[in-house]
Amino acid sequence: MEQTKTIKVKCPAKINLTLKVLNKREDGFHNIDSIMQTIGLYDYLTVSVSTSSDFLINLSGTSDEIPYDEKNIVYKACRLFADTVGINSGSISVFIEKNIPVAAGLAGGSTDAAGVLFALNNLYGEPLKKIELHNLCAKLGSDLNFCLEGGRQKTSGRGEILKKLPFENFNVSLIKPIDLGISAKEAYVKFSDKVNLSNDNSREGFKNDLEWAVLDDYAQLQQIKSTYPNSMMSGSGSTYFGIGFEFAEENGYWVKNSLPAVAEGVQVVRI
C-alpha cells in the first residue's frame, strides 16, 4: 500500500543591506562581506514523499520562468539529499508556488533549495543534523546557508559563513523592472571588469559593490536610482529596495511595498 507524507514550507526572500566584494577565490567564486536580512516575501513549497520501487523526483509549480527538471536547483537539492542519506527508492514531489521574482537578487532559487532540504529532512525523520544540512547548503550555492537560518546575519566567505546579528524591526519596499533579470555571474564578471578598468573612487559611494558594477549598463536601474536616490540594489540585482519609504506603482515595474523584516529563515507552514 502506497504511503504519502506531505509538508508545506515557506521560504523567505533576502535583501543585502551591505555587500562588499573582497577578492576572487581559487574556486572561481568571490569572497564577500555582506549583511543579509530575510523579509516577508515568500515562496511556498509543498513537498511530498511516497513509496515506489523506483526513485523519482517530480517538480511542478506556478512560474513559467523556471525549469522543472534537473536544471532547477530544487531538483539538485533533492538529488543531493537523497545521495547523502542513501535514498534509492520512493518518489519526491515538489510544488513551487513562486512569489519571489527570478534573477532579482532576492535569493529566490537559493531559498527554495534550502527549503526543500529542510522539508526532506523533516519528512525522512531528520537523519541530518543542522550542521549537516548547512554542509549540503554550502555545496549547492552561496546564499542557501543564510536562507536556512534567516534573520539578520553578517555573511562572509562566499556567503556561507554566518554570524548572527541583533534583529531590528523595519519595513522594506521593493521595485524591479519586470523584463530585466541579472544573474550573479553577470554581475560578478562586470564587477571584475570594472575594477580592472576603473581609476576613480566612485565605488566608495555604494553600499553594494555589485550595484556599482552594473548600474551604468541599465537605463531602468538608473531610472530607479535617480527617482529614489536613497534606494539600494539587493545582491546582483535587478531589484532595488527602500527602507522608510514606498515606491510608486509604475508600468513596467514590479513593486511590493511595506514588507516586514523577519527573524526566521525557512519554516514549516502551520495549517
Provide the domain count of the chain.
2
List the catalytic residue out of 10, 14, 176, 190: 14
Residues 156 and 225 in one domain: no
Model pLDDT for residues 160-211, shown as the tens digit of each residue: 999 999 999 999 999 999 999 999 999 999 998 998 886 767 888 999 999 9
Model pLDDT for residues 193-207, shown as the tens digit of each residue: 998 886 767 888 999
Residues 52 and 137 in one domain: yes
- Give the model's pLDDT for residue 1: 40
52 lies in a domain?
A: yes
Q: Structural domain of residue 63, as residue ranges?
A: 4-165
157 lies in a domain?
A: yes
| Residue 209 identity (one-letter amino acid) | D
The whole-angstrom separation of Cα 271 and Cα 263 is 20
Which pLDDT band holds residue 34 (cuts at 50, 70, 90)? very high
Q: Assess contact for 271 and 8: CB atoms under 8 A.
A: yes
DSSP state of 11: E
- Report residue 228 CA to chain centroid gap: 24
Residues 126 and 40 in one domain: yes
271 lies in a domain?
A: no
Residues 31 and 142 in one domain: yes
The whole-angstrom separation of Cα 206 and Cα 221 is 14
Whether residue 143 lies in the annotated active site: yes
229 burial level (CB within 10 Å; 0-12, 13-18, 19+): exposed
Residues 107 and 130 in one domain: yes
List the catalytic residue out of 43, 112, 143, 209: 143
Model pLDDT for residues 45-85, shown as the tens digit of each residue: 999 999 988 999 999 999 999 999 999 999 999 999 999 99
Whether the per-residue pLDDT at 2 is higher than 80: the answer is no
71 lies in a domain?
A: yes
The whole-angstrom separation of Cα 214 and Cα 5 is 45
Residues 146 and 26 in one domain: yes
Whether residue 14 lies in the annotated active site: yes
